[in-house]
Amino acid sequence: MDIRNNLAQLRTKRGLGAAQLAAEIGVSRQTIYAIEAGSYVPNTAVSLKLARTLATTVEEIFQIDSELPASAETAEAIVLGGVEPVLPGQHLRLCRVNKHLVAIPPEPGGWGLQAMDAVLLTPIRDRKQNSKAKVKILGNSWDHAARVLIAGCDPSASILANALQRQGCELIIDYENSTRSLELLQEGLVHIAGTHLADKVTGKTDLLPVTKMFPRNSVAIISYAMWQEGFVVIRGNPKKIFNVTDFVRRGVHIVNRESGAGCRRLLDDMLREHGIPSSQVKGYEQVVAGHFPAARMVQSGTADCCISTEAVARSLGLDFIPLVEKPYHLVICRAQLELSPIQALCETLGHVSFRNEVEICTGYNMHTAGDRLI
């Protein structure tokens, strides 16, 4: 039988931090996180100490899963993503965010079926983002406090997910561009938004593009990485593309990113700076969503160049011409900072082993990962 608990809620209600509670009962802070995440069930002695410290009963902290109502077979969920059509039978991941049941189509690719929590039952006719639809839920193993939802475009989110999984937490990833990720956070449909809309100017990061979207003191911004954005080209760069002015040469064809993407904004800024109309750039109107889909068009020879990150070029064996160094941040509503998986995530960012793994795999600079900017 699975054990569910209310430890995180009771701890927050009593105004106790995880480290403080751990010290009170003689365990590690990681143990408190694991208990709250549901990945570790404490023994009788620890359970009694928790109840005494929190001035409650063991029964109020812990419940046997069979005593709780089972998930409904069908439910209405908010289905994220409006780029690709989502049809009946589509597999979905589920996550509870605030009071919403949110469904995310898994990323396409691979030869096997990906993990799923539900199946779409009704068609989404208008294909609008955040459409409500009926889904068939496959059990209730997904419905736990250790699961959090992040929206963003960083490919290394999968490395972060693996690191959190080892701590009993589950990170569900909705790959969206920076603008869309922040909009989803505004709407209360994700726990975390990843963005590279902020600019690095004169040695420091300008957070205005992010902070102006949210009320004062409503969000925390956590540094994740500094990465290089630039031209991704075929190995050997046969078209000799080194500057945005090369885009107007005969025979050069690019692939663009969707409106709202940070790389799209970088391209538009460079064209504006050089006085180049977008109509003179072949492929400007050819738009794909996501770093990898754009780079794969270069890899296949469908396009000669796209703007993306060094990590994407490296993973696909393509050449990379750096243009700018940009910060990538995680934006979190302050009201959710006490959630156990988010606390575990913030701690993970500071681990040397995690930083080294991401740097080796991506080329990012992770020296400030985990630093709280506001």
| pTM of model > 0.85 | no
Q: Is the pLDDT of residue 206 over 90?
A: no
Say whether pLDDT at 82 is over 80: no
| Fold: same for 3-67 and 145-374 | no
What are the contacts of 157-163 at 24+ separation with CB within 8 A?
A: 157/194, 159/354, 159/357, 159/358, 159/361, 160/345, 160/348, 160/354, 160/358, 163/348, 163/351, 163/354, 163/357
147-156, 192-201, 218-227, 354-363: which has the minimum mean pLDDT? 192-201
Residue 28 CA to residue 97 CA, distance in Å, equals 28
Domain residue ranges of the chain, discontinuous segments joined by +: 3-67, 69-143, 145-374
Closest residue by Cα to residue 210 from 218, 198, 220? 198
Considering only CA atoms, which of 316, 353, 373, 371 is closest in space to residue 167? 353
Task: Answer with the residue of higher pLDDT: 33 or 320.
Answer: 320
Q: How far apart are CA 60 and CA 246, in angstroms?
A: 66
Give every CB contact of residue 300 below 8 A, 6+ residues apart in sequence.
Answer: none
Residues 6+ positions from 58 with CB-CB distance below 8 Å: 47, 48, 50, 51
The yes-or-no verdict on residue 204 having pLDDT over 80 is: no
Q: What is the mean pLDDT of residues 45-63?
A: 89
Average pLDDT over residues 341-348: 92
Give the model's confidence band at 68: pLDDT under 50 very low, under 70 low, under 90 confident, else very high: very low
Q: Please write the tens of the pLDDT for every residue from 239-252.
A: 999 999 999 999 99
Is pLDDT at 110 greater than 60 in this prediction? no
pLDDT of residue 276: 97
Residue 96 has pLDDT above 90, yes or no: yes
Q: Residue 24: pLDDT above 50? A: yes
Give pLDDT, residue 253: 97
The rounded mean pLDDT for the chain is 88
Average pLDDT over residues 10-30: 87
Q: Which CATH number fits domain 3-67: 3.40.50.1820, 2.30.140.10, 1.10.260.40, 3.40.50.1980?
A: 1.10.260.40
pLDDT in the model for residue 207? 85
Does the structure show a pLDDT above 50 at 69?
no
Q: Measured between alpha carbons, how far is residue 1 from residues 48, 65, 145, 167 in Å?
A: 20, 6, 17, 20
- How would you class 295 by CB atoms within 10 Å of its CB: exposed for 0-12, middle for 13-18, buried for 19 or more? buried
For residues 75 and 144, the model is more confident at 75
Handedness of CA 190, 148, 198, 325 (dihedral sign): negative
Mean pLDDT of the 2-7 span: 76
CATH architecture of 145-374: 3-Layer(aba) Sandwich (3.40)
Greater confidence, 281 or 197?
Answer: 281
pLDDT, mean of residues 282-311: 95
Determine whether 200 is exposed, middle or buried from the number of CB atoms within 10 Å of its CB (0-12, 13-18, 19+). Answer: middle
Asked if 135 and 74 touch (Cβ cutoff 8 Å), the reply is: yes
pLDDT of 128 above 90: no
pLDDT at 114: 76
What does the H/E/C string look like for the chain? CCEEECHHHHHHHCCCCHHHHHHHHCCCHHHHHHHHHCCCCCCHHHHHHHHHHCCCCHHHHEEEHHHCCCCCCEEEEEECCCCCCCCCCCEEEEEEECCEEEEECCCCCCCCCCCCCEEECCCCCCCCCCEEEEEEECCCCCCCCCEEEEEECCCCHHHHHHHHHCCCCEEEEEECCHHHHHHHHHCCCCCEEEECCCEEECCEEECHHHHCCCCCCCEEEEEEEEEEEEEEECCCCCCCCCCHHHHHCCCCCECEECCCCHHHHHHHHHHHHCCCCHHHCCCCCCEECCHHHHHHHHHHCCCCEEEEEHHHHHHCCCEEEEEEEEEEEEEEEHHHCCCHHHHHHHHHHCCHHHHHHHHHHHCCECCCCCCECC
Residue 267 has pLDDT above 90, yes or no: yes
Only one residue has tokens 């000669």, namely 304
For residue 323, is pLDDT > 70?
yes
Higher pLDDT, 285 or 200: 285
**Residue 200: per-residue pLDDT:** 64
Whether residue 338 contacts residue 12, with contact meaning beta carbons closer than 8 Å, is answered with yes
- pLDDT for residue 112: 63
